[in-house]
Amino acid sequence: MKLIKWLFTLGLIALLGVIGTSYLTLQKSIQLPQGVAEYRYSIAEGSGSSAVANDLAAKNIISHSLLMKAYLRLTQKTRSLKAGEYQLSSNMNMLDMLALFEQGLSIQYQFTIIEGWNIRELLAALRTNKQIKDTLPAGLPHDLMERLGEPSMHPEGAFLPETYSFSSGTTDIQFLRRARSHMQDYLQQAWEQRSEKSVVRNPYEALILASIVEKETGAAHERPLISGVFTNRLNIGMRLQTDPTVIYGMGESYDGDIRFRDLRKHTPYNTYTIYGLPPTPIAMPGKHAIDAALNPESTKALYFVSRNDGTHIFSPTLKAHEAAVDKYQRNR
Residue 210 lies in a domain: yes
d(CA 7, CA 13) in angstroms, rounded, equals 10
Residue 22 lies in a domain: no
Residues facing 132 on adjacent strands? 170
The count of domains in the chain is: 3
- Same domain as 219, residue 318: no
Report the pLDDT value the prediction gives residue 67, as an integer from 0 to 100.
Answer: 85
- Same domain as 99, residue 202: no
- Same domain as 232, residue 198: yes
**For residues 290 and 210, is the Cβ–Cβ distance under 8 A?**
yes
- Same domain as 292, residue 192: yes
Torsion angle of C-alpha atoms 156, 158, 162, 168, degrees rounded to 10: -100
Tell me the per-residue pLDDT of 290-325, one tens digit each, with 9 for 90 and over: 999 999 999 999 999 888 888 999 899 999 988 988
- Same domain as 304, residue 169: no
Question: Of 103, 133, 161, which one is at a domain's C-terminal end?
Answer: 103
- Same domain as 89, residue 209: no
Residues 6+ apart with CB under 8 A from 241: 233, 271, 272
Least confident of 4-8, 51-55, 58-62, 328-332: 4-8
Has residue 95 got a pLDDT over 90? no
- Same domain as 150, residue 167: yes
Mean pLDDT of the chain, nearest integer: 87
Has residue 18 got a pLDDT over 60? no
Residue 317 lies in a domain: yes
- Same domain as 244, residue 118: yes
Residue 140 lies in a domain: yes
Res. 29 pLDDT band, cuts 50 70 90: low
Residue 21 lies in a domain: no
Residue 311 lies in a domain: yes
- Same domain as 115, residue 253: yes
Residue 243 lies in a domain: yes
Q: pTM value?
A: 0.83
Has residue 20 got a pLDDT over 50? no
Residue 148 lies in a domain: yes
d(CA 214, CA 226) in angstroms, rounded, equals 10
Question: Of 76, 103, 130, which one is at a domain's C-terminal end?
Answer: 103
Tell me the per-residue pLDDT of 119-156, one tens digit each, with 9 for 90 and over: 999 999 999 999 999 999 988 999 999 999 999 999 99
Dihedral sign from CA coordinates of 96, 99, 105, 107:
positive
- Same domain as 259, residue 307: no
- Same domain as 285, residue 136: yes
d(CA 259, CA 190) in angstroms, rounded, equals 37
Give the residue with greater pLDDT, 85 vs 13: 85
Report the pLDDT value the prediction gives residue 23, as an integer from 0 to 100.
Answer: 45
Domain residue limits at 310: 300-332
- Same domain as 320, residue 278: no
